Amino acid sequence: MRRVLIVTPGYYPAKTYGGPVVSIKNLTDLLGDKIDFYILTSNHELNENKMIEGLPQGFSSYGKTKVCYISDKDMKEVNFQHIIDEIKPDCIYINAIFHRLLSPPMIRLAKNRNIRCIIAPRGGLCKNAMSFSKYKKLVYLKYLKLIMGENVCFQSTSNEESIAISNFFGKKVEIIQLTNLPRSINLEANKYRTPKNQGEIRIIFFSRIHPKKNLKYALEILSDVKCKCRFDIYGPIEQENYWKECLNVISKMPENVKVNYCGYLDNNLLKKIMGKYDLFFFPTLSENFGHVIAEALSENCHVLISDNTPWNDINLQKFGRAFSLNNKEKFVDYIEQIASLSEQEIQQQRIYIKPYWDEHFNLESLKKSYISMFS
């Protein structure tokens, strides 16, 4: 079997690294019988230094892969060199372009050893994502371009991301456009579902609490709805100042809207949690894929999202909408519309989720494409 070394800023059991971790878990679960995966990652939560308790030393089995957790101070080129010598990968897969401790040294080592190197920017080059610390990122990208060899190619997951890669790294760079691998749809989702009360709505937000994910906007929308609404927020607080802004909006909510912060949502509990809600609300500024959207749909839940994701064709379906962030009234109206549905009416709309899912994700075809990419 071919050996692939995956380099990623965070991995399970860490809880705070968002969608890229889900991407890698789905990838190794679905292809672990065909490819020998190794993962090199940090030993702490995002924006923390304390080591996660109970992590083993060296490479150890985790699902269908082997994982090595290291501290930031050990993220040095000489240490990476020893790891490459140990596992002798056929390919290095970099699962984040802006990690300064991981990406540049791995790109250099792959070039020097003539190892195929695949970089997955995970949406980091898209317009809205680049708006955060833009000029620092531009300098960094120029440096990466200087050290990259002909052994490097990029994996994009959307047309927008492919265009962004070409703009930053030139038209000649190899780009493989492949959507992320989702987990299988939960065919038993309705077993966990709580019946809906007509005239009321239960809404969930689950993502990192960061300006890019736009929770504050969601709260501002909910402050204008007239129906009885419960809004539960799940996710790690990544930026305290932004969370304070959200709390300020929450403090001014009308009586008909109840907001709860529920902490981190363990992925293993997702199917039990999602059944409590009628709608997933995610007005994100930018997503190259949007794993949380896929996960909501996989649990038979309606979605209300911004049009800054690859899921805009949801507007043609009965179980979701994607609106421009400039049209707040449309978000409010759709929430009111879902609130007005009875349990029977919302169940009739959910029936269409599985056919949509099956049409969009041919897992067997995707598996073959990923195996080809790593070959």
Helices (H) and strands (E) in the chain, counts: 14, 14
What is the rounded distance in angstroms from the CA atom of residue 168 to the CA atom of residue 192? Answer: 46
Tokens describing residue 14: 């860490």
Nearest by Cα to 12 from 36, 33, 28, 1: 28
Strands 65-70 and 60-62: antiparallel
Confidence of residue 218 (pLDDT cuts 50, 70, 90): very high
Domains belonging to the chain, first-starting first, are 3-181 (3.40.50.2000), 189-359 (3.40.50.2000)
Dihedral sign from CA coordinates of 21, 25, 28, 31: negative
pLDDT reported for residue 147: 95
pLDDT tens-digit series, residues 257-305? 999 999 988 777 887 888 899 999 999 998 888 889 999 999 999 999 9
Q: What 3-state DSSP class applies to 112?
A: helix
Residue pair 69/41 in contact (Cβ under 8 Å)? The answer is: yes
Residue pair 31/367 in contact (Cβ under 8 Å)? The answer is: yes
Average pLDDT (116-138) is: 87
Judged against a pLDDT cut of 80, whether residue 192 lies above it is answered with no
pLDDT reported for residue 180: 86
Judged against a pLDDT cut of 80, whether residue 183 lies above it is answered with no
Average pLDDT (201-223) is: 97
Judged against a pLDDT cut of 90, whether residue 22 lies above it is answered with no
Burial class, 215, CB count within 10 angstroms (exposed 0-12 / middle 13-18 / buried 19+): buried
pLDDT tens-digit series, residues 303-359? 999 999 989 999 999 999 999 999 999 999 999 999 999 999 999 999 999 999 988
pLDDT reported for residue 300: 92
Question: Mean pLDDT, the chain, as a whole number?
Answer: 93
Give strand pairing partners of 68: 40
Judged against a pLDDT cut of 80, whether residue 148 lies above it is answered with yes
Average pLDDT (137-147) is: 93
The pTM assigned to this predicted structure is 0.84
What is the rounded distance in angstroms from the CA atom of residue 318 to the CA atom of residue 351? Answer: 9
Judged against a pLDDT cut of 90, whether residue 235 lies above it is answered with yes
Place of tokens 């070959």: 375
Find all residues with CB under 8 Å of 306, minimum gap 6, and list them. 214, 282, 283, 284, 285, 322, 323, 324, 325
pLDDT reported for residue 328: 97
